[in-house]
Structure 1
Amino acid sequence: MKINSLTKVSNKPKFYLIFHCNLAFSSIDEDQLNEVIAKSYFPLLEIVKSTNTKTGIELSGYTLEKLSKLAPLFIDELKILSKSGLVEVIASGYQQIIGPIVPYKVNVKNQELGLKVYENFLGIKPRVAFLNEQVFSKSMVDIYKEFYDAICMEWNNPYSINAHYWQESYGFAPAIAKGIKTQIPIIWTNSILFQQFQRTATSQNTLENYLSMIERFIKKGYRYLPIYSSDLEVFNFRPGRFNTENNINTNEWKNIEKIFLALKNYGEFLLPCEVLQFANKKIALDLSNPVYPIIVKKQPKYSLSRWSVAGLGGHYINTLCHNCYDSTKNKADKKSWK
């Protein structure tokens, strides 16, 4: 990826995108993978090229391996766009594990294996990582600092639990996240912004209303806006497993194209790593606190137990998991760890 150390930009607001790709998504059956790749994955690359919009694409090593078998052309196109500087590949490890609930060594191995896959298939080492499911603990800062220049994490919940101490202006630009022993730059994501993007792309909101919201954010002082930072598989595809799914009434990628082009009248798109140059290094934040030592994304229903082995038989299953870890932790071969 060809990026100057200091990208020349204007004084316009800056926008950035992070599309999250996950072919291990539990809502998608194995026999639907080719369909979702055709309807969601390839169209993203096409719209990036046709609108010349800089875009971040986050995917795990496992998803890359799946794509290499099911859609090797996607890998080829992604590699070309990455080298051209139009796309930035964002890391998330080999699997989309929830870091704070697994041992330290599992976290480290997950990143090491993921980086090897990025290198093998794309010939790159990502600079930026996306915290899986936007679950944060201070220990994650220390782990990710070993491998990356920055992390991406949601602004909304850290701000809500620290509202008595934080100013909203802390979210206007990238800042610094404190860990236990170290610190790392943090590129904010925003669940309000990505949900409104989804609603507009899927025809549940009008483009006019969406742009009015963007104008309000800009007027407040937000100069670096995470326009989208969530699932790719929700566009032009529905897994058909939820009664709440809205129908696909139009080509949603056409709607996304309209959003991209309209936003370019307000500001310019940068890659996530390019936004790092605007980080306010004077703002070093404790995202968590004693009441909320671990933070999750979006609504309170996304508690840590959502991803933990809990409920009936949970103790037994966790025991099996820990036994598996004990038998693996001293092994060096990557196959055992995968």
Structure 2
Amino acid sequence: MNEKSIYLPIVFHFHQPVDNYGWVFEDSFKKAYEPLIDNIYKYPEVKVTLHFSGNILEWFLKNKPSFIEKLKTMAKRGQIEMIGGGYYEPIFAIIPYRDKIAQMKKLSNLIKKEFGLEVKGAWLSERVWEPNYPSFLNEVGLKYILVDDNHLRGTGLTEEDSFYSYVTEDEGKTLRVFPINEPIRYLMPWKPTYMTIDYLRDAASEKGDRVCVFISD
């Protein structure tokens, strides 16, 4: 029998609302953002994907230069990927088309300028999805998006089907969709480690073509 395997992309989301209190930024940085990145930094072989909203990235650039330098080092050694999204975390479904494009480009351009990384994927604010999203996401050069797996199950796909990526389209513009796995989102942070391992072992396949996306915000 062939050994079973499964891909486990790990994504971390960083955001604070615009004009939030300075002490909230500082407290979150000391308790969550800095310890997380410091620990990942120690293990170059561990690769993760990061998403920063534009306003929190601005705050890091202004107030935490050493944190930014650490991220730049991780980017140069191929340890991190950065995905884009709306600069100020808008709900895309309720803003004009031109603003969707502008917000996406603004964040992608900042990431390219500061870290030299090309943005190929995106995080959707509050994980809100609409069927017409592929048009504007494709227009700004994105190749893939992360969506809750319940969107796929709502179309009739099974839980087993949600371990694969899919291509969707709008007006002929295509986009690859990676489902965010709901069970793993609650297992990894809150349950004993063996439960995550057991879940992944059960989900793995001999072909090794399945993917279980974990995202933490």
Task: Give TM-score scaled by structure 2 length.
Answer: 0.87
Q: Decide whether the 8 Å contact of 1:20 with 1:229 is kept in 2.
A: yes
Moved >4 Å (runs of 4+): 219-222
Determine the structure 2 residue equivalent to 1:40. Answer: 32
Highest CA radius of gyration, 1 or 2? Answer: 1
* Aligned partner (choices 196, 200, 208) of residue 214 of structure 1: 200
> What SS does structure 2 have at the residue aligned with 1:224?
coil
For structure 1, the residue ranges without an aligned partner over 5 or more in a row are 1-9, 200-204, 232-338
Q: Decide whether the 8 Å contact of 2:187 with 2:195 is kept in 1.
A: no
Alpha-carbon distance in 1 for matches of 2:195, 2:107: 40
Following superposition, the deviation at residue 86 of structure 1 comes to 0.6
* Aligned partner (choices 123, 134, 152) of residue 146 of structure 2: 152
Distance 1:134 1:222, change over 3 A: farther
2:174 counterpart of 1:183 = yes
The alignment covers a number of residue pairs equal to 212
Distance 1:100 1:180, change over 3 A: farther
The percentage of counterpart residues that share the same residue type is 20
* Aligned partner (choices 52, 77, 81) of residue 59 of structure 1: 52
Q: Which deviations, in whole Å up to 9, do the C-alpha atoms of 1:81-109 show, x marking residues without a partner?
A: 11211111111131111111111111111
Alignment of 1:69-88 (within 5 A): 69-88=62-81
2:84 counterpart of 1:97 = no
Letter in 2 for 1:224: V
Q: Decide whether the 8 Å contact of 1:61 with 1:118 is kept in 2.
A: no
Following superposition, the deviation at residue 209 of structure 1 comes to 2.6
Determine the structure 2 residue equivalent to 1:313. Answer: none
Distance 1:198 1:151, change over 3 A: same
Alpha-carbon distance in 2 for matches of 1:65, 1:58: 13
Alpha-carbon distance in 1 for matches of 2:18, 2:34: 17
Alpha-carbon distance in 2 for matches of 1:57, 1:39: 17
Following superposition, the deviation at residue 46 of structure 1 comes to 2.2
Q: Decide whether the 8 Å contact of 2:18 with 2:88 is kept in 1.
A: no
Distance 1:214 1:136, change over 3 A: same
Q: Decide whether the 8 Å contact of 1:171 with 1:222 is kept in 2.
A: no
Alignment of 1:84-233 (within 5 A): 84-147=77-140, 148-155=142-149, 157-163=150-156, 166-199=157-190, 205-218=191-204, 223-226=210-213, 228-231=214-217
Alpha-carbon distance in 2 for matches of 1:16, 1:97: 25
Q: Which deviations, in whole Å up to 9, do the C-alpha atoms of 1:167-186 show, x marking residues without a partner?
A: 54432222212224421111
Q: Decide whether the 8 Å contact of 1:34 with 1:70 is kept in 2.
A: no
* Aligned partner (choices 13, 26, 31) of residue 23 of structure 2: 31
- CA RMSD in angstroms comes to 2.4
